[in-house]
Amino acid sequence: MSKPIVLHLGDSIKWNHELYTKLGEQFTIERSGNMSRQEFKQALKDRRFGDFCAMYRPFWNTGGEMGNWDDELISLLPHSCQIYASAGAGFDWVDTKRLAQSGIIYCNAAAACTESVADAAIWLILSTFRNFTWSALAARSTDAEQFRDANRNIAGVTHNPNGYALGIIGMGNIGYRIAQKATLAFGLKILYNDLYRKTPEMEAAVGATYYEKLDDMLAAADCVVVATPFGGTKLLNGSNISKLKRGSRLVNIARGKLIDEEALVAALESGQLIAAGLDVHYDEPNVNPKLARMRNVELLSHTAGASVESHVGFERLGMENILTFFETGEAMTPVNAHLINKL
């Protein structure tokens, strides 16, 4: 009897070879390589990979050459496909509801990059309080006047974060890890808004205060961190950005499209916000030039989750999701399982 098929998208694995051997013992592994969208569509139409039961994408930088996973692609998948396990935390590039309509569970790998993303969030938070961007730019300019300007004047506009209120939008694994690091390392007071409230024990462990209404938390926080998945619409627009405490700070390590960037620029220009830290951008890979010119804004290139440890975890967690799903009937990190029986 032939083994079920797993379609491996993108490059070969690099680290978890024993686990990949186990996967190969239980499944026939077909490879798509790095096909373009048209090539991949044609391969699916021709059933070149057979009736595979799972898709596995171990890396974020490869295996996505076919572009966004929408109805055009999903409708071509064989009826035998039951699970798609991919690297990465965000899933704005895949229509998880449409996958659910075909009975396919999508699993992300946010758990594998929690530590890396939380570390980057801490850097951005600290940067917004201490304005390290201004200091770094002045030093890198090699201009003595810019150096002196930062050296003499930065103390008048920066603060230690200890005792200030950090508001977290989205208290999932990443949001909670940010809370742990922020309160233990810097003595920040934790506020949070989420669809689901944490247990009293988890709140107590980080001294967190729950806000059912987002606007109420925005008004109370000295720094707000966006750590929630992109649901298809802006989370922070001109209206609720105006609800932020005047002179507060904003950090985004989630998705750029969660924030109205022009409203963010306006808030920084007006002093509504005194600093921002962004790992993600509205029109990636293009960075807003107005934000790029601001020395009170720290900018990264969507690298918060980028570490060797994250990529080892991405690779491993995808295989574990597939193996666990076919052993127990349940995946480890499903994103859309709650939709499967409702559609």
Residue type at position 321 = N
Is 140 a residue of the active site? no
Helix (H) or strand (E) holding 235: none
Catalytic residue (one of 159, 197, 295, 302) = 302
Question: Is residue 177 annotated as part of the catalytic site, yes or no?
Answer: no
Set 57, 255, 311, 316: catalytic member: 255
> Which residues in the chain belong to E strands, given as ranges?
5-9, 28-33, 54-57, 83-86, 105-107, 165-169, 189-193, 208-210, 223-226, 248-252, 273-278, 297-299
Q: At what angle do helices 173-186 and 110-130 cross, to 10 degrees?
A: 40
Which tokens belong to 187? Answer: 């003595």
Tokens at 168, concatenated: 């977290």
Q: Is 284 tagged catalytic? A: yes
Evaluate whether 313 touches 111 at the Cβ level (below 8 Å).
yes
Q: What are phi and psi of 86, to 5 degrees?
A: -125, 155
Q: Is the peptide bond before 4 cis (omega within 30 degrees of 0)?
A: no
Q: Which position among 262, 269, 284, 309 bears the catalytic label?
A: 284
Catalytic residues: 255, 284, 302
